[in-house]
Structure 1
Amino acid sequence: RGSIPTFFGNMETKMVSLGLLLFVMAASAVDVNDISQLRAAKNSKRITLRNINVPAGVTLDLGKLKTGTVVEFAGEITFGYKEWEGPLILIGGKNIKVEGKPGHLINCQGERWWDKEGGNGGKTKPKFLAVRLTDSSVDGLVIKNTPAHGISINSCKNVEFTKITLNVADGHQKGGHNTDGFDVGNSEKIRIAYSNVNNQDDCLAINSVNDITFEHNTCIGGHGISIGSVGGRKNNVVQKVKVLHCKVIDSDNGIRIKTVKGATGEVKDILFDDVELKNIAKRGIVIQGNYLNKSPDGDPTGGVPITGLTINNVRGNVLPGGANVYVWVANASNWKWSNIKVTGGKKDLGQKGVPPGVKW
């Protein structure tokens, strides 16, 4: 009987300790519903952003988060109107987990900036989201009507983006332009999966990367899935790219590699496998070595060689006014193409620099 009080005393101590732990954990979770609260909230490792209206010309700054922070988006996030470069949101740190809670919406109201010019003129339009993450994940964000570029992934390493919805469908009728989905530069070990993009520019644009997988994604209404443009930047190497099990619908292009005329760099070890195309307006598959922003210019140049390009099981239809496949390169080798079934396009743009043995 003398041991019983000791047992219950130890259990009571443990229960008190557990209660204190739960209290500390609960206290460390911070709800933010006004941007003025954000600076203090970044001392916490769990931040919930709920129904915030970000003032005009101000970035929702989630940069330099504490290692291991969880960021949740809840309710509706909106932004005041101003012509500026942005970004509207910045997220940076290591071992960060970004989540969209059920029913949330990040509503950029980009129609206030749209003028059919995008980044080529007219109003100055803020970029939406700048990501600077390492060993992190971004999951379940629902984004509507970005003013211009969507998610800019730069200087990131080992980051996954899953179940992202980027809906800029209103821009088709209201003047949206240059509303890229995912832009990737100077990054490595990136995965983008199970996401949906409806926009007016590239669904995916890779400018420089080492090891990226883009899989189980649907791209609607834009310019397709693009490697490039490559060239003219500090880092001009794209390597170890996998595009798998994707759909491209009602877009200008299906899959594309574009290297800048007269530039230097490298594109190598690229795989497109199991990509379905539907109602492509201009080109189903395009590999282009004379890219300029406004229009192609003359003969291709070979300063950005394209090597180790595998394309398998790319299938679907191009509208009659488009071309099924267009290859216009000057320095290409070690290509393996198989099971290409892209039909419907009647336009012949010619071909140049196709490596030996490549057929479609």
Structure 2
Amino acid sequence: MLFSNIPKLALLGYLTAQRVSGEVVPLDSNATSIASPPALASTTATPCICTEWSQISPAVAECTSITLDNIQAPASSAIILTKLKTGTSVTFSGTTTFGFTNSSQFRPIQIAGNNVTIQGAPGSIIDGGGPQYWDGLGSNGGLPKPGQFMKVQITNNSILKDLYIQNYPSHGINLAGVINSTVQNIVLNNSLGDAPNNISNGLSAAHNSDGFNVGNSVNLLLKDCKVWNQDDCVVVSDSSNVTVRNVFCSGSHGLSIAGGGTGPGHDIENIIFEDSVVTNSTNGLRIKTDFNATGSVVNVMFSNINLSNIKNYGIDIQQDYLNGGSTGIPSNGVHVADIRFLNVKGLVVPAAMNYYILCGNGSCENFIFEGVDIQGGGDTSSCNYPEGGCPE
């Protein structure tokens, strides 16, 4: 464009318009002035980089790339990301904290979305403030504590990744209704809760601190995660086509299947746990089905698992489970079949059992043990199925 024939006032206005908006603003009919530049409100609209909790809701409504930077959520104020636009990316940056919320109904982080990415920036920390709540009782009593620290329902090639979460009050990440998605490189570090505190009566201060609760999910890959906690490391219920790969568990109740329930719909099938480590834990690998429940657990494989310093059972399958204590008398309403243990090795402590299997009458079928070698237990193993007894 040549500027020699444009009056100086118009030229100055044109260049100013270019600097303000990046677009040409048409000259008026006299070519001596320009129309007013666009209002600058659009450049100061809803922030997609949130530094205050109050900015999150409008950002979710407007943005598809959101950063939550050093958010300090007030008491009773959840980070709600349940209405994310399709394809949205959310990044947790800096340190995320929550005000003390004395309620078992409180869910500090809630996520739902289609084809979304939820991730942590390098060095970021999400801190649940667990020491404010831990009393050795978890969700079984004592001080009311936020349950399900992070509730996640993501679908259609979504991914949850690269999060470092520490000191969550009770249950960790609840993967409920996750479909065709991946969870990877998550650290759940509740190791601070291993030691007793002044109100836990000598018990580990943190309790019921499940790592990952997987329920009602289909086609989920959970991989490359590390969990330090005081309850199930990963527990799968009412789901199908779930693979748990390369997970490290310490201080937990092990890698678990929780089967059965009241009424229809409590079926679990095509579950793989592979290439993982369970150490310093109560149990190694476990299938527990509720006493007097119905449902099924079919086609489950535990492959390439290393166990060490296991306190109760190396491999545990029991159909007498009740929260807070087992009955010792199995029921047979949950069909458990096609269960494979391949290349499972390791050590339990002398006071533990290498194997414990307690099936209901006729409810277990086709258990396969190949390359299984668990040693160290001084308490005699007990297996009422298969007919040949325990693997050893």
TM-score (norm 1): 0.90
Percent identity of equivalent pairs: 35
User: Equivalent of 2:150, from 104, 112, 129?
Assistant: 129
CA contact (8 A) 1:334 1:355 kept: no
Residue range with higher mean Cα deviation, 342-351 or 189-198: 342-351
Give 1:232 deviation, angstroms. Answer: 3.7
Residues 270-315 of structure 1 deviation map (CA, whole Å, 9 limit, x = unaligned): 0000000010011000011111112111321111011010111110
Unaligned runs of 5+ in 2: 1-18, 24-41, 198-204
Larger Rg: 2
Residue in structure 1 matched with residue 239 of structure 2 by the alignment: 209
Residue in structure 1 matched with residue 55 of structure 2 by the alignment: 37
Q: 2:181 matched to 1:163?
A: no
SS in 2 for 1:141: strand
User: Equivalent of 1:281, from 286, 298, 311?
Assistant: 311
Q: How does 1:44-83 map to 2 (within 5 A)?
A: 44-83=63-102
CA contact (8 A) 2:319 2:358 kept: yes
SS in 1 for 2:344: strand
CA contact (8 A) 1:273 1:311 kept: yes
Residue in structure 2 matched with residue 189 of structure 1 by the alignment: 219
Distance 2:308 2:44 in 1: 49
CA contact (8 A) 1:333 1:355 kept: no
Q: 1:65 to 1:179 in 2, by over 3 A?
A: same
Residue in structure 2 matched with residue 4 of structure 1 by the alignment: none
4+ residue runs over 4 A deviation:
24-29, 355-358
User: Equivalent of 1:94, from 114, 129, 134?
Assistant: 114
Residue in structure 2 matched with residue 115 of structure 1 by the alignment: 135
Distance 2:43 2:374 in 1: 55
Residues 61-94 of structure 1 deviation map (CA, whole Å, 9 limit, x = unaligned): 0001100000000000000002112210001010
CA contact (8 A) 1:336 1:358 kept: no
Residue range with higher mean Cα deviation, 236-245 or 295-304: 295-304
Q: How does 1:148-297 map to 2 (within 5 A)?
A: 148-173=170-195, 174=197, 175-232=205-262, 235-297=265-327
Taking only aligned residues, the RMSD between alpha carbons, in angstroms, comes to 2.0
Residues 219-267 of structure 1 deviation map (CA, whole Å, 9 limit, x = unaligned): 0011111101532476311111000000001000000000011110000
Distance 1:169 1:155 in 2: 28
Unaligned runs of 5+ in 1: 1-15
Equivalent residues, number? 340
Distance 2:169 2:43 in 1: 38
Residue in structure 1 matched with residue 380 of structure 2 by the alignment: 348
Residue identity matched to 1:117: L
Give 1:181 deviation, angstroms. Answer: 0.2
Residue in structure 1 matched with residue 331 of structure 2 by the alignment: 301
Give 1:336 deviation, angstroms. Answer: 1.4
Distance 1:31 1:272 in 2: 43
Give 1:348 deviation, angstroms. Answer: 2.2
Distance 1:197 1:27 in 2: 40
CA contact (8 A) 2:355 2:390 kept: no
Residue identity matched to 2:335: P
Q: 1:233 to 1:105 in 2, by over 3 A?
A: farther
Q: 1:234 to 1:87 in 2, by over 3 A?
A: farther
CA contact (8 A) 2:259 2:295 kept: no
Q: 1:240 to 1:82 in 2, by over 3 A?
A: same
Residues 83-136 of structure 1 deviation map (CA, whole Å, 9 limit, x = unaligned): 112210001010010111001000111110000010100011112100011021
